[in-house]
C-alpha cells in the first residue's frame, strides 16, 4: 500500500510497499504529485510491468535525461580511450542531431527505424547506416551495463538493420597503379595550383606494398621504423592490437623519398586524419585518368571506360592483400601484415587472380 508523509515545508514523501517487492520511495514538493506517483507505481506492480516500474522508481540521476546528454557523457568519458574515436564521434553527432532531444525513457524502436529509413533515403550507404545503428546500440548498452541507467533498454535490438553489403573485390591493375603514381607526382605546366600533395606517391606505394590501413599509414612515426630490419611498428591499430609490418624494397625506397623532407614532429606524413587524404586522392585519380586518355589519344586507341573507375584508397589495401597471397605467403604471414584476426575476414579482402594460381599448379 502507499503512504504519503509530510516531511516539512515542500517535502512530501511517497512510500509504496507491496509483498515480494522492495520498498519504493520518492520525495516531491507537492502532495498531489506524491500521490500520483504512488498510484502509478502501484498500478505498474499490479500489471507486472517491470519496465514501467524501473522507469518510475529510478532515481533522477539514473534516468539519464535526453539521448543528447547521454551522448555528451559518452564522448567525455568513453571515446577518448578508444581507437577510431573520430569516426565514432561523427556517427554519434548524426544520432544526436536526429534523435538527441528525445528523453531516454521515451526512445522507441519506431524512432530508430524512422531515422534508419531517412538515412537510407538521403543516400547513405547500407554499410554506413549499419555502422550508425551499431554506434547507437553500443551507446545504449554501455549506459545500461556500465552506468546503471535505469528505465531504458537497447531499442536498436528490435530494429532491422540493412543487409550487409557485398564486400568489394576491386583489383588495381599494374597499369592503373602506374598512372596513379605518375599523377601523384605530376604537376600540369599550365596549372601549377594543381600540384599533387607532398608524400601522396609514397603513401600509395606503401599502401600497396604493406596492406596497411590509411589511418595506420598516416599515423606512422620515424621512431617506429627499423631500416636495418626493414619493419614498421604500429602501436595503435583499428583492432586495438599493436603489430609489426615487414617492408619490401619498394616500401623502403618510398620511405627514403620522404626522408628528404622530414617533419619535425616525427611523423612520416603530413596528414593528421584519414579523411584529409580523400580530396588529394580524388584529384590524383582525375589527373591519372586525364594522362591515360591523353596517351590513348596519341596511340591512337580507345580508352577503356573502366580504367581507374570506381577506385577508392581502401582498394589499395585489397590489392596489397591479394598480392601477398600471390607472392606465396601463407595465411598466418598475411594476417601478420594486414592485422586481420580471422580467416573469414581475411578472405573478404583476398581476391587472388586465378591465372596466377593456375601457373603454380603446373
- Do residues 265 and 276 lie in contact, with contact meaning Cβ atoms separated by under 8 Å? no
- Do residues 172 and 315 lie in contact, with contact meaning Cβ atoms separated by under 8 Å? yes
Per the annotation, the verdict on 238 as an active-site residue is: yes
Q: Using a CB cutoff of 8 Å and minimum separation of 24, what contacts does 1-8 make? A: 1/42, 2/35, 2/38, 2/39, 2/41, 2/42, 4/31, 4/34, 4/35, 4/38, 6/31
Q: Give me the residue label for grid cell 591499430.
A: 237
Catalytic residue (one of 213, 289, 318, 323) = 213
Burial class (CB in 10 A: 0-12, 13-18, 19+), 190: exposed
User: Which of 65-100 are b and which e, b meaning 16 or more Cβ less than 10 Å from the residue's Cβ?
Assistant: ebbbebbebbbeebeeeeeeeebbeebbebbbebbb
Bridge partners of 4, per DSSP, are 14
Per the annotation, the verdict on 314 as an active-site residue is: yes
Per the annotation, the verdict on 349 as an active-site residue is: yes
Catalytic residue (one of 94, 161, 243, 314) = 314
Q: Which residues contact 290 (CB under 8 A, 6 or more apart)?
A: 183
- Do residues 140 and 111 lie in contact, with contact meaning Cβ atoms separated by under 8 Å? no
Q: Which of 205, 321, 319 is nearest to 252 (CA)?
A: 205
Residue 300 preceded by cis peptide, ω within 30: yes
Helix (H, G, I), strand (E, B), or coil: what is residue 91? helix
- Do residues 247 and 232 lie in contact, with contact meaning Cβ atoms separated by under 8 Å? yes
Catalytic residue (one of 198, 238, 347, 356) = 238
Per the annotation, the verdict on 317 as an active-site residue is: yes
Query: What cell was used for 215?
Result: 589511418
Q: Give me the residue label for grid cell 524512422.
A: 114
In the chain, DSSP assigns E strands to 2-6, 12-16, 24-28, 225-226, 231-234, 243-246
> Residues with catalytic annotation?
213, 238, 314, 317, 340, 349
Amino acid at each position: 500500500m502507499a503512504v504519503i508523509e509530510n516531511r516539512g515545508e515542500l517535502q512530501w514523501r511517497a512510500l509504496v510497499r507491496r509483498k515480494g517487492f522492495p520498498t519504493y520511495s520518492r520525495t516531491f514538493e507537492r502532495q498531489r504529485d506524491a500521490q500520483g506517483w504512488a498510484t502509478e507505481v502501484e498500478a505498474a506492480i499490479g500489471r507486472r510491468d517491470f519496465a514501467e516500474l524501473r522507469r518510475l522508481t529510478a532515481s533522477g540521476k539514473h534516468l539519464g535525461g535526453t539521448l543528447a546528454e547521454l551522448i555528451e557523457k559518452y564522448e567525455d568519458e568513453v571515446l577518448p580511450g578508444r581507437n577510431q574515436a573520430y569516426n565514432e564521434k561523427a556517427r554519434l553527432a548524426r544520432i544526436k542531431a536526429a534523435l538527441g532531444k528525445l528523453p531516454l525513457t521515451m526512445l522507441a524502436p519506431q524512432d530508430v527505424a524512422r531515422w534508419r529509413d531517412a538515412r537510407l533515403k538521403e543516400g547513405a550507404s547500407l554499410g554506413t547506416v549499419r555502422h550508425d545503428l551499431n554506434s547507437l546500440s553500443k551507446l545504449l548498452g554501455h549506459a545500461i551495463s556500465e552506468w546503471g541507467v535505469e528505465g531504458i533498454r537497447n531499442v536498436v535490438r528490435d530494429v532491422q538493420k540493412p543487409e550487409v553489403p557485398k564486400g568489394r573485390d576491386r583489383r588495381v591493375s599494374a597499369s592503373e597503379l602506374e598512372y596513379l603514381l605518375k599523377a601523384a607526382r605530376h604537376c600540369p605546366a599550365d596549372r601549377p595550383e594543381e600540384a599533387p600533395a607532398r608524400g601522396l606517391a609514397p603513401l600509395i606505394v606503401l599502401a600497396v606494398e604493406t596492406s596497411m590501413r590509411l589511418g595506420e599509414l598516416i599515423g606512422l612515426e620515424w621512431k617506429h621504423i627499423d631500416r636495418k630490419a626493414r619493419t614498421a611498428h604500429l602501436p595503435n591499430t583499428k583492432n586495438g592490437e599493436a603489430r609489426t609490418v615487414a617492408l619490401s624494397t619498394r616500401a623502403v625506397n618510398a620511405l627514403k623519398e620522404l626522408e628528404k623532407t622530414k617533419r619535425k614532429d616525427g611523423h612520416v606524413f603530413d596528414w593528421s586524419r584519414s579523411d584529409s587524404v580523400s580530396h588529394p586522392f580524388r584529384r590524383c585519380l582525375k589527373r591519372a585518368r586525364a594522362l591515360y586518355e591523353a596517351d590513348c589519344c596519341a596511340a591512337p586507341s580507345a580508352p577503356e571506360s573502366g580504367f581507374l573507375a570506381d577506385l577508392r584508397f581502401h582498394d589499395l589495401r585489397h590489392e596489397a592483400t591479394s598480392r601477398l597471397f600471390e607472392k606465396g605467403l601463407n595465411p598466418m604471414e598475411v594476417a601478420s601484415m594486414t592485422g586481420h584476426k580471422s580467416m573469414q575476414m581475411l578472405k573478404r579482402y583476398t581476391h587472388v587472380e586465378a591465372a596466377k594460381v593456375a601457373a603454380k599448379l603446373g
